[in-house]
Amino acid sequence: MLIETARVVALDSDAVWVETLRQTSCGSCAARSGCGHGMINGVKAGVSQGLVKALLPADKSLVVSLHDSVEIAMPERGFLRAAWMLYAMPLLTMILAAVLADQYWSAASLAQAALDLRVTLSAAAGLATGLLMLRLLSARVSRDPDLQPRVTGVN
């Protein structure tokens, strides 16, 4: 489980809307003086990262009110699945479309420029297809309660 601390900004019947804050660990790193990541995080530490809907336990065992600091957890499986979908799927559809187009049109006696243009356009169409598939799948995944962040405790 991936765990994060957040502040409650709105309440729903079965969920809360929380605002997460960026935490930085650069104060304890030995390379903090020469690290660009630490410099960027130092400027933006404590900045809001947006609102997240976190589900409350079904047994209503936690009492949460506005501005409470809560602990939210997200299943690692859901995080890895989302990362795969976001990064790999559009690239794989783009590469597959380009390879298939190259195989299909390489047998024809086309000029190299015409072949390259067709393969490039096919790759762009494959990328667009992957992004469309990502949009459709993300809408389905967003309704899956097993993959949603959950409130696990009140601080």
Shared domain for 69 and 106, answered yes or no, is no
pLDDT digits (tens, 9 = 90+) for 115-152: 889 999 999 999 999 999 999 988 887 777 777 888 88
Q: What are phi and psi of 120, to 5 degrees?
A: -65, -45
Type and span of the H or E element at 84: none
Determine the pLDDT at residue 112: 84
Same-domain status, 86 and 58: no
Q: Please state, in angstroms and as integers, the Cα–Cα distance from residue 91 to each residue in 64, 69, 123, 129, following that order.
A: 42, 39, 9, 10
Whether residues 86 and 24 fall in one domain: no
CA pair distance 155, 141, nearest whole angstrom = 29
Are 51 and 111 within one domain?
no
**Do residues 7 and 52 share a domain?**
yes
Amino acid in position 155: N
Whether pTM > 0.85 for this model: the answer is no
Establish how many alpha carbons lie within 13 A of residue 139's alpha carbon, considering only the half-sphere containing its beta carbon.
Answer: 5
Q: Are residues 44 and 31 in the same domain?
A: yes
Number of domains in the chain: 2
Range of the domain at 57: 2-75+148-154
Same domain (yes/no): 68, 104: no
List, for residues 41-53, the tens digit of each pLDDT value: 554 545 555 788 8
Give the integer Cα–Cα distance in Å for 155 and 151: 11
Most confident of 52-61, 101-110, 117-126: 117-126
